A and B are shown apart, each in its own frame.
Chain A
C-alpha cells in the first residue's frame, strides 16, 4: 500500500503543472505586465505604479466601474426577488408544476450572446412599435440607443436569463422544508406572510447566501450581454469592466494598462465575495 501511494502523486501532478502554467502563471504575468508600459507588442519598460495612479484618474475607467456596479447590484436584487417569488409559486399546490418548472428553466440553457441579439431586436423594433400604438412616447425610441436608459435594457436581458438558474436553486431549498412546519404555524394562527418571514426565509437562508454571491459575481463579470446588445455604447455608457479590458487590451494598445485594471478588478471581486459570504452567513446564524 505504501509503495502504491506514489500513484496518487502521478494522478495529480500533471493536472497541477498544467493548471499552474495556464492559470497561475497568467495571473502573475498580468501582475508583472501591470507595472510596465507594454502595448501588447514590441519592447517595454517597467514604470512602477504609474498605471495604477492613472487608473484612478481615468474617467473612462471610473465610468466602467460605476456602470458595472450599478448593473450588478440592481440585477442581483431583481434576480433574487423574482426567482424567489417564482420558486414559491412553483412550490405551491399548482397544476402543470413540472411543465412550468421546465419552461422557467429554459433561459439557462440558451447562449447569452444569442439571447442578447434577439432582445436587441425586441428593443429596436417590437417595443417601439407597441409603444407607438399605445401612444407611450417615452418608449417609441430604442432604449439601447439612449445613453441614460441603455443599461436598463441590459438589466432586463440579464435578469430574464439569470432568473432561471436562481429559481431552480430556491426551489431546491424550499423542497427541503417539511410541510408540517407550515401546518403547525397555521394552527397557531400565523398568516402567509408571517410564516414566510419566520419559517421559509430562515430555512432557506443558506440558499439565499449562495444565490446572492453567485449572482453578484456573475453580474460583475458581465460581458456577452454587452457585446451582443450595445458593444459598450451609446458612447461609453454601458462599457462594463470586462468589455473595457477586452477592447483596450487587445485593440487599444493598452495591454499593460488594462492588466493593471484587471488586478484592481480581481481584488474587488475577491473582497466583495468574501464580505458577502461573511455578512450573509452571520445573518444565517443570527436567524
Chain B
C-alpha cells in the first residue's frame, strides 16, 4: 500500500466532480446576498455588497424564528423519544425471539417497511384530525410510531449481538427487567443509538410530506413546509427566496460541518445492517 503513489489525475477528476455538488450551493449563497439588479447583470459573480436586507425581509415575511423553533422542537422531541421508546421495545423483542408472540411482533414491525407513507396517507390524515393530532404533537407522535419499523430492525440486530451474561449477573443480584434495561443495556446501545438518532434527526428535520398533510395551522409549520407555503410570493423575488432557503438549510449544514465523521459513519451503519 505504502509503495503506491498518490493518484493525482484521479484526485483532480474527483475534485471536478465535487464541483457539481458545490456549484448549486455556491449559487445559493451568492444569490441570497445579491439585489435583483445585481443578479440581472450576472448570476455567477460574487455580490458587490452583502445585502443583509434579503435576510431580514425573509425572516419577517416567513416568520422564520417561529418555524425554526418548530422544526427544532419537532426534531429534538422526535429523536429523544424515539431513542427511549424504540430501543425498549426492541430490547423486549430481541430477548424473547424464541417466543411466538415476540417473533410475530418482530416481523410485524419490520414488514411495515414495505408500506410507504403515501399509501396510508389519506386515511392517516382523516385519523389525525379525528384524534386532534393535526398539530406538532401529532407530528412528533407519528414520527416516533412510524420510525418503529426500521428502528426495531436495526436495534434488534444489535441487541442480539450483546452477550446475555451481563444481564444475568444483574438478575442474580435481584435487579428487575426495567433496571437491567435502563442501567445495563441502554448505556451499551450508544453506538446504535447514534445511528438511529442521526437518521431520525435527518428525517424529522427535512421531511416535507408528513408536515404538509398533517399541519394546518400556520404557526406550527416546520421549515421545509414554510418554504413551500411562501413559494408563490418568492417567485417575484429570487434573492429573498434564496436568503430564506439558505437560512433553512444552514442549521443542518452547520451540524454536519461539526459532526461530519460521526454522521457519515452513523448513516453507513444504519444502511449496512
Which A residues lie at the B interface, using CB under 8 A?
1, 4-5, 7-9, 11-12, 15-16, 18-19, 22-27, 29-30, 33, 40, 86, 89-90, 92-96, 98, 100-115, 117-119, 121-122, 125-126, 129, 160, 164-165, 168-169, 171-172, 179, 207, 210, 214, 217, 220-221, 223-224, 227-228, 241-242, 245-246, 249-250, 255, 258-259, 262-263, 265-266, 269-270, 273
Contacts and interface: CB of A to CB of B under 8 A. Distances in A.
Contact of A94 (B6, B112, B114): B6
Contacts of A269: 114, 116, 119
Contacts of B228: 113, 227-228
Nearest to A28: B123
B208 A111 contact: yes
Residue among A15, A18, A93 with the highest chain B CB neighbour number at 10 A = A15
12 contacts: A7-B176, A12-B102, A23-B115, A27-B120, A93-B1, A103-B21, A111-B227, A118-B24, A118-B27, A171-B268, A179-B1, A241-B118
Interface stretch (B157-165, B188-196, B249-257): B249-257
Contacts of B18: 100, 103-104
Given A15-B85, A242-B118, 5 more contacts: A22-B124, A111-B249, A122-B24, A207-B272, A262-B120
Interface string B73-110: 00000000000011011011101100000100100110
A8 B271 contact: no
B177 A8 contact: yes
Contacts of B253: 106, 109-110
B209 A223 contact: yes
A223 B118 contact: yes
A94 B7 contact: yes
A262 B115 CA distance: 10
Contacts of B261: 98
A115 B176 CA distance: 49
B105 A121 contact: no
Given A30-B123, A246-B121, A110 B252 contact: yes
